């Protein structure tokens, strides 16, 4: 397939470009700058200079091109704000960015569309020991600042599934770790504040495994379906920090909440367990790294 990939130079975008090319697909990588365009070329893709939030510019950039599929992996998670609001960059990319990319899919003649979602759409709260699946409620708000994230995730899925010109597939990833993420095992990469005592237990997925699941969804995903893409073992934030080489920045819970309220909701209040059984059955996908210990060793 020829695939337009939005977010080609992000943490999941880079391994995804490599995985797509390895499987014989052609990648058109959306690039806002010449630096991003050069990175797309270095990864083996062909850059398309446009900004997904600039509707007219995006549609001009894809006019005259063709593609079989569009993959939406755009977020602004690398530099999260201290507080969240309705105009949070990642929320806008998930909402308005999806609208524009769906229009671009129509111009390109793309029949398939895969979008990034997150298991956190089940709600930033303590779900107990119950293992959640795609059949459980999604888009659950808890009356906290983290609701803005949930709103963006729900908007992306609803807009996609309402579109009648594409086969829409949503991938509900666990929290990414690995190269280019908050938990990058590369020595000298930045530290992330984590709570003393470990914090909440959440699902994770290595970016290479997330990329593999995305290729599988592109090739075998069913129309109108959401798939959970996580590893086999949820873990606390403290466990990930301990597995990462180098210095750790541990903060008492009250200080973490005060410093970054959104991270407080995520790292302290959220206890979530999920199953990737549906992705394994439908997509013939299983994570190469069953947990963060394996993934961190692999780099």
152 neighbors 134 (Cβ within 8 angstroms): no
Retrieve residue 101's tokens.
């990319």
**Residue 74 belongs to what domain range?**
2-184+203-235+274-298
User: Does residue 252 sit within a domain?
Assistant: no
HEC string for 47-109: EEECCCCCHHHHHHHHCCCCCCEEEECCCCCCCCCCCCCCCCHHHHHHHHHHHHHHHHHHHHC
Number of domains comprising the chain: 1
User: Does residue 145 sit within a domain?
Assistant: yes
Q: How far apart are the first and last CA of the chain?
A: 29
Mean local confidence (pLDDT), 272-276: 98
User: Does residue 41 sit within a domain?
Assistant: yes
User: Does residue 129 sit within a domain?
Assistant: yes
User: Does residue 189 sit within a domain?
Assistant: no
Q: Which residue has the higher pLDDT, 260 or 219?
A: 219
User: Does residue 250 sit within a domain?
Assistant: no
Question: pLDDT > 70: what percent of the chain?
Answer: 98
Mean local confidence (pLDDT), 36-46: 97
Mean local confidence (pLDDT), 87-93: 88
pLDDT in tens, 131-186: 999 999 999 999 998 999 999 999 999 999 999 999 999 999 999 999 999 899 88
User: Does residue 258 sit within a domain?
Assistant: no
Is the pLDDT reported for residue 81 higher than 70?
no
- The CATH number linked to 144 is 3.40.50.720
User: Does residue 42 sit within a domain?
Assistant: yes
DSSP output for 230-293:
--S--EEHHHHHHHSSS--EEE-HHHHHHH-HHHHIIIII-EEEE--HHHHHHH----SSSSHH
Mean pLDDT, all residues of the chain: 94
Phi-psi map region of 133: left, alpha, beta (phi>0 left; psi -120 to 50 alpha)? beta
Is the pLDDT reported for residue 84 higher than 90?
no
């Amino acid at each position: 397939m020829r695939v337009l990939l939005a977010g080609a130079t992000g943490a999941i975008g880079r391994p995804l470009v490599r995985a797509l090319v390895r499987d014989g697909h052609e990648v058109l990588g959306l690039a806002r700058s010449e630096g991003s365009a050069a990175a797309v070329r270095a990864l083996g893709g062909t850059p398309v200079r446009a900004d997904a939030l600039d509707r007219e510019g995006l549609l001009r950039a894809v006019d005259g091109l063709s593609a079989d599929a569009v993959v939406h992996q755009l977020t602004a998670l690398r530099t999260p704000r201290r507080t969240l609001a309705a105009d949070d960059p990642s929320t806008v990319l998930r909402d308005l960015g999806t609208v524009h990319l769906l229009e671009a899919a129509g111009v390109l003649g793309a029949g398939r569309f895969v979008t990034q979602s997150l298991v956190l759409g089940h709600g930033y709260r303590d779900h107990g020991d119950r293992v959640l699946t795609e059949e459980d409620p999604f888009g659950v708000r808890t009356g906290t600042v983290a609701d803005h994230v949930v709103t963006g995730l729900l908007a992306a899925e609803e807009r996609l599934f309402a579109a009648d010109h594409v086969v829409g597939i949503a991938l509900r990833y666990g929290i990414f770790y690995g190269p280019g993420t908050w938990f990058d095992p590369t020595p000298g990469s930045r530290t992330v504040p984590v709570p003393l005592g470990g914090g909440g237990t959440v699902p994770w997925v290595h970016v290479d495994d997330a990329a593999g699941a995305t290729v599988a969804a592109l090739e075998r995903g069913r129309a109108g379906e959401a798939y959970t893409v996580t590893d086999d073992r949820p873990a606390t934030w403290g466990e990930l920090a301990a597995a990462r080489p180098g210095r750790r920045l541990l903060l008492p819970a009250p200080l973490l909440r005060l410093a970054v309220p959104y991270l407080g909701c995520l790292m302290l209040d959220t206890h979530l367990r999920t199953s990737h059984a549906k992705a394994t059955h439908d997509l013939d996908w299983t994570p190469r790294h069953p947990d963060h210990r394996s993934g961190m060793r692999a780099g």
